[in-house]
Chains A and B, each alone.
Chain A
Amino acid sequence: MELTGIQIYKFLPKTNCKECGFPTCLAFAMKLATKSVELSLCPHVSDESAQQLESASRPPIRLVTIGAGERKIEAGNETVMFRHEKTFFHQTGLFVRIKDTEPTDAVAKTAAAVSGYSVERVGREFRLDGIAIDNSSGDAAAFVKCVEAVKSQSNANLILMSNDPAAMEQALEKASGDRPLIYAATADNWERMAALAKKYNCPLAIYEPGGLDALAELAGKLTDAGIEDMVLDPGARDFAASLTTLTQVRRTAIKASFEPLGFPVIAFPGEGSADADEEAMLAAQQIAKYASIVVLDSFAPEAAYPLITLRLNIYTDPQKPIQMTPGIYEIGQPSADSPLGVTTNFSLTYFSIAGELEAAGFPSWLLVCDTEGLSVLTAWAAGKFDAMRIGRAVKNSEIADKVSHRKLIIPGGVAIIKGELEEELSDWTIMVGPREAVDVGPYLKQNQA
Chain B
Amino acid sequence: MSAVQIPIEKWTGNIHQITLGGSGGRKAVTVGGESTLPFLKFEGEIPNKPAVAIEILDCAPDDWPPHLLSAWGDAVSDSAKWAKKAVEYGADIITLRLRSAHPEADDTGADQAKAVVDKVLSAVDIPLVILGPGVAEKDNEVLAAVSDTARGQRVALGNCEEKNYRTLAATCIADGHVAIGHTPLDINLAKQLNVLLSEVGFPIDSIMMDPDVGALGYGLEYSYSVMERLKLAALGGDGMAAMPMICNVGVESWRQKEAKSIEGMPDGWGDSERRALLWEEITAMAMLNAGANIVTLRHPKAVELVKATIDKLINGKM
Contact = CB atoms under 8 A, between A and B. Distances in A.
Interface string B216-227: 111111001100
Given A213-B3, A241-B317, A313-B220, A305 B225 contact: no
A310 B272 CA distance: 18
B177 to A, nearest CB: 28
Contact of A300 (B218, B228, B271): B271
A84 B225 contact: yes
The residue among A307, A348, A358 with the most chain B CB atoms within 10 A of its own CB is A348
B163 interface: no
Given A244-B42, A285-B285, A305 B275 contact: yes
B7 A352 contact: no
Contacts of B268: 117-119, 126, 301, 304-305
A31 to B, nearest CB: 33
Given A247-B40, A280-B282, A316 B221 contact: yes
A300 B271 CA distance: 8
B118 to A, nearest CB: 30
Given A252-B4, A306-B275, A240 B317 contact: yes
B5 to A, nearest CB: 6
Given A82-B225, A240-B318, A309 B216 contact: yes
Given A302-B271, A309-B216, A281 B285 contact: yes
A312 B229 CA distance: 20
A220 B1 contact: yes
Interface stretch (A100-108, A254-262, A327-335): A254-262
B10 interface: no
Contacts of A241: 316-318
The A interface is mostly helix, strand or loop, or mixed, namely helix
A306 B278 contact: yes
A240 B257 contact: no
B39 interface: yes
Interface in A108-122: 117-122
B23 interface: no
Interface in B196-252: 214, 216-221, 224-225, 228-229, 232
B61 to A, nearest CB: 15
Contact of A277 (B41, B42, B229, B305): B305
B267 interface: yes
Nearest to A303: B278
Interface string A266-293: 0000000010011011001100110000
A280 B255 CA distance: 21
B31 to A, nearest CB: 19
Interface string B278-318: 11011001100110000000000000011011001111111
B86 to A, nearest CB: 20
B217 A82 contact: no
B25 interface: no
A302 B1 contact: no
Interface in A219-243: 220, 238-241, 243
Contacts of A217: 1
A280 B282 CA distance: 8
Interface in A354-370: 355, 358-359
A251 interface: yes
Given A304-B270, A305-B269, A318 B4 contact: no
Nearest to A314: B221
B4 A258 contact: yes
B6 A248 contact: yes
Contact of A278 (B260, B266, B309): B309
A281 B282 contact: yes
A168 to B, nearest CB: 26
A32 interface: no
B258 interface: yes
Interface in B53-99: none
Contacts of B289: 243, 285, 288-289
B256 A244 contact: no
A407 interface: no
Contacts of A121: 217
Contacts of B260: 359
A275 B81 CA distance: 31
B263 interface: no
A330 B66 CA distance: 28
For the side of the interface on B, what is the size category? 35 or more
A83 B282 contact: no
A345 to B, nearest CB: 16
A442 interface: yes
Contacts of A318: 221, 225
Contacts of A277: 274, 277-278, 281, 305
A214 to B, nearest CB: 9
Given A256-B7, A278-B308, A313 B224 contact: yes
Contacts of B111: none
Contacts of A310: 216, 220, 282, 286
A216 interface: yes
Nearest to A236: B318
B217 A256 contact: no
Contacts of A220: 1
Contact of B316 (A126, A239, A281): A239
B255 to A, nearest CB: 8
B317 A280 contact: no
A284 B285 CA distance: 7
A175 interface: no
Contacts of A258: 4-5
A22 interface: no
B104 interface: yes
Contacts of B220: 310, 313
Contacts of A300: 270-271, 274
A101 to B, nearest CB: 26
A251 B214 CA distance: 28
A212 B4 CA distance: 7
Contacts of B272: 302
The residue among A238, A239, A300 with the most chain B CB atoms within 10 A of its own CB is A239
Contacts of A255: 7
A351 interface: yes
Contacts of B313: 239-240, 243
Contacts of A351: 218
Given A241-B316, A256-B7, A348 B218 contact: yes
9 contacts: A84-B225, A243-B313, A251-B6, A256-B7, A281-B282, A288-B224, A301-B270, A303-B275, A309-B216
Given A240-B316, A240-B318, 14 more contacts: A117-B268, A238-B316, A240-B314, A248-B42, A258-B5, A280-B278, A300-B271, A300-B274, A302-B274, A309-B216, A312-B217, A313-B217, A313-B220, A314-B286
The 8 closest A-B CB pairs, nearest first, are A119-B268, A240-B316, A302-B270, A301-B270, A302-B275, A84-B225, A313-B221, A244-B318
